[in-house]
Amino acid sequence: MRYRVTIENCSETYPCSEQQTLLQGMEQLGKRGIPVGCRGGGCGVCRVQVTSGTFSKAKMSRSVISEADESKRIVLACRCTPTSDLSISVVGKMQKALSAQRLIETEDDVSVAAVG
Ligand code: FES
C-alpha cells in the first residue's frame, strides 16, 4: 500500500509504501526536502516531526531522538515508515538550510517570472 507524504517546509509531496522508510521513498523518486545523511539512524540529520498521520518506526538511538522528541512525534525519516497519509516537518539543525534553499528557489522563480 502506498501513502502520500507531504513535506510541509517545502510543500513537496510524494508516494511512499509501507515497506519503505520516509527517506527511501523520497530518494527513490529523486525528490528533495528531507536532509539526507547516513541513512542508518546514526547522524540525526533526517529528523522530522510527524504533524499528522500514523507511522511505525524502527529502534532509534537516544543520542539522536530523546524521549521528549518522541512525545512530540519527532522521528528519524530513515527509520520511519508510513501507515497512513502523513504530513511531516523537517526539524533540527538542517531546517534553516532547507528554509534558505527554499528562499533562493523562490527568488529564482521571481527573477524568471520578471524576465519572461
Ligand atoms: S540519515 Fe542519518 S539518522 Fe537518518
Q: Of ligand 1's atoms, which has the minimum distance to the CA of residue 77? A: 4
**pLDDT of amino acid 109:** 53
Answer yes or no: is pLDDT of 114 > 50: no
Confidence of residue 11 (pLDDT cuts 50, 70, 90): confident
96 CA to centre of ligand 1 in angstroms: 17
Q: Is the CB of 37 under 6 A from ligand 1?
A: yes
2-115 in CATH: which number? 3.10.20.30
**pLDDT of amino acid 115:** 45
**pLDDT of amino acid 98:** 62
Average pLDDT over residues 64-78: 96
Residue 35 Cα to chain centre, angstroms = 7
Q: Could you read off the pLDDT of 79-112 as tens digits, one per residue?
A: 999 999 999 999 966 666 665 665 555 555 544 4
Enter the C-alpha cell of residue 111: 527573477
All structural domains of the chain with their residue ranges? 2-115
Q: Name the residue with cell 529528523.
A: 47
